[in-house]
Amino acid sequence: MALRKLLNTLYITAPEAYLGRERENVIVRIDDEIRFRIPIHNLESIVTFGYVGASPDLMYLCAERGVSLAFLSPSGRLRAKLATPTKGNVLLRRKQYHMADDVGETLNMARNFVFGKLHNCRAVLRRYLRDYADSEASAAVERATRDLSFQLERVLVTEDIDELRGIEGEGTRTYYGAFDHLILEAKDVFCFRRRSRRPPLDPVNALLSFLYSLLAHDCSAALETVGLDPQVGFLHSMRPGRDSLALDVMEELRPYLVDRLSLSMINTRQLSIKDFEVQEGGAVLLNDEGRKKVIQAWQSRKRELIIHPYLQERIEIGLVAYAQALLLARCVRGDLDAYPPFLWK
């Protein structure tokens, strides 16, 4: 399978920035001074954080060149995005809608997403056990891996979508229940008690939420590129304004792409308390310097090479979401009997 060259995403973290156009270039102004310039053909997407502005002329250029433009809050929640012309064959999306309306098809798709997620959660825990077999926490982590194995068996036999979602919830709680054991450094700062999202209430949750928002954007862009509708999912029910299919694909990629990177940054002390800020009400967010560090690590991680477990091709990690979108499109078209989730070993 020929995969396209991985292009760049431009991340804008300075809240005082303003995006504009200069012929075929994207320019970034701060205090009426041009601080950055890049040709539009070098970009695949632009992601902004905070209250960044953009000129209508730039929006037109992005739409014309098929470059996605997303506006996120400082914590990483999607506020708005530029809708570019629909790509792909309308027949593919029509088939996707029919499958989403079919209870059996929905269950089969959702089952594979959940299996991929729980399998990769277990793989993260097993990696810890391999590296720290004699640690005090190894018994608790081992129990969690056994529980996840049992939940994976249940995923394969359930015939009810609501029960499947319940198993997914149980598996998530099992995994996050052991997550704090995987944090080995600076436990006074990076202590994980439970998953809190809106808002994140501690530095670990702030880091996870921020990276999950970047992954969600990549999944949505990948699905758009192959011609699927990101809003029509199977595991996640449809809701106005929510990219449910992107969230479906994202589930199996969270442990491998985000959780491992988060643990690596914490355990190698790339982040400290100075990279976070506490807002009124108790919300904890990455500050501007923290976001820059995380985005740099995210982009570096995406350039690493792996052998895709299903395709058996060497690809950049940044293309994993695109590879899964391609496989999903093949499944929807009927070229594959079932969707093969990304299974990290």
Do the first three CATH levels of 8-81 and 90-333 match, i.e. the same topology?
Answer: no
Q: H/E element holding 295?
A: helix 288-302
Which two structure tokens, joined as six digits, stand for 2? Answer: 């020929």
Query: Which H helix or E strand runs over 27?
Result: strand 25-30
Listed in sequence order, the residues at least 6 apart from 62 whose beta carbon sits closer than 8 Å to its beta carbon are: 40, 46, 68, 69, 82, 84
CATH number of 8-81: 3.100.10.20
What is the rounded distance in angstroms from the CA atom of residue 47 to the CA atom of residue 60? 16
What is the pTM (predicted TM-score) of this model?
A: 0.83
Asked whether the CA dihedral 93, 98, 100, 101 is positive or negative, the reply is: positive
Question: Positive or negative, the Cα torsion across 283, 288, 294, 295?
Answer: positive
Query: pLDDT tens string for the chain (345 positions)?
Result: 444 455 577 878 777 888 999 889 998 888 888 888 889 888 877 888 777 788 999 988 988 888 878 887 776 666 777 766 665 678 889 999 999 999 999 999 999 999 999 999 999 999 999 988 778 888 999 999 999 999 999 999 999 999 999 999 999 999 999 999 999 888 888 989 888 878 889 999 999 999 999 999 889 888 887 888 899 999 888 777 788 999 999 999 999 999 999 999 999 999 999 999 988 888 889 998 999 999 999 988 988 999 999 988 888 888 898 889 889 989 998 888 999 999 988
- CA angle in degrees (0–180, nearest 5) for 257-262-268: 125
- Please name every residue paired with 315 in a beta bridge, in sequence order, or none if there are none: 306
Are 76 and 213 within 8 A, CB to CB? yes
DSSP state of 254: I
Domain covering 90-333 in this structure, CATH number: 1.20.120.920
Task: List the chain domain ranges.
Answer: 8-81, 90-333
| Count of C-beta atoms within a 10 Å radius of residue 290 | 22
